Structure 1
């Protein structure tokens, strides 16, 4: 399975915000410099995380991005869905009808494939939901924050 780079970037943004000393806001340019990614691309990810209610933003001089939920409550499934990566829609083109005359068999096979794929997606989402961002961090490091990312880019 190959996930796009936005999933990885979003996950690390959330861990960085959880680790921010004093949980003060962090500006997007600081996040992008630490991650060594494009600030404009990262802003698109931040917008999606904000829209999903995982982070909040404050556009003031001292503002930036912060977690909007406790880090223990945010799962990888939340990140996956915030980035609109879900693959729930199974859209059959019904090509089998071009090859086979047995309509009942074609319908049975398509139903079997659809049921199998749906079960796989359910299991996949369940596994993602079981892993929280806090599981990726040392508890003592995120409780009050352990790193000042602003100092890292100076």
Structure 2
């Protein structure tokens, strides 16, 4: 399975915000420099995370991005859905009707395939829900924050 690069970036951004010393805001350019990714692309990711209520932003001089929820309440599924990566709509083109004459059988086969894919996606989403950001971090590191990301970059 190949996941969109935004999923990896979003997951690391959320862990970085969780580890930020004193849970102070972190600017997008700091995050993008540390992750070595495009700031403009990362801002799009951050906007989606903000829209989903996972991070909050403050555009002031001392502002930046912070977590909007505790790490125990943010699962990989939340990140996945915030980035609109879910594939809930299975769109068949019904090509089999062009090839085979038995319409009833084609419909039956499509229903079986659709049902199997929906069950698979459901299981995938259920698994994503089981892993929270807190599970990825040491508790003592995220309780008050352990790293000042601002110290790791030059302005």
TM-score range, shorter chain: over 0.9
Matches within 5 A, 1:49-64: 49-64=49-64
What CA distance in whole angstroms lies between the structure 2 residues aligned with 1:43 and 1:98? 45
**Displacement of 1:130:** 0.6
After superposition, the C-alpha distances for 1:58-89 in whole angstroms (9 at most, x for unaligned) are 00111000000001100000101111100111
What CA distance in whole angstroms lies between the structure 2 residues aligned with 1:47 and 1:117? 30
What CA distance in whole angstroms lies between the structure 2 residues aligned with 1:86 and 1:97? 28
Which residue matches 1:85?
A: 85
Which residue matches 2:7?
A: 7
Unpaired runs of 5+ in structure 2? none
**Displacement of 1:105:** 0.6
Which residue matches 1:111?
A: 111
Unpaired runs of 5+ in structure 1? none
What CA distance in whole angstroms lies between the structure 2 residues aligned with 1:90 and 1:143? 41
Which residue matches 2:148?
A: 148
Which residue matches 1:129?
A: 129
**SS, match of residue 85 in structure 1:** coil
TM-score under structure 2 length normalisation: 0.98
Structure 1's consecutive aligned runs of 4 or more residues displaced over 4 angstroms after TM superposition are: none
CA RMSD of aligned residues (A): 0.6
Which residue matches 2:37?
A: 37
Total equivalences in the alignment: 154
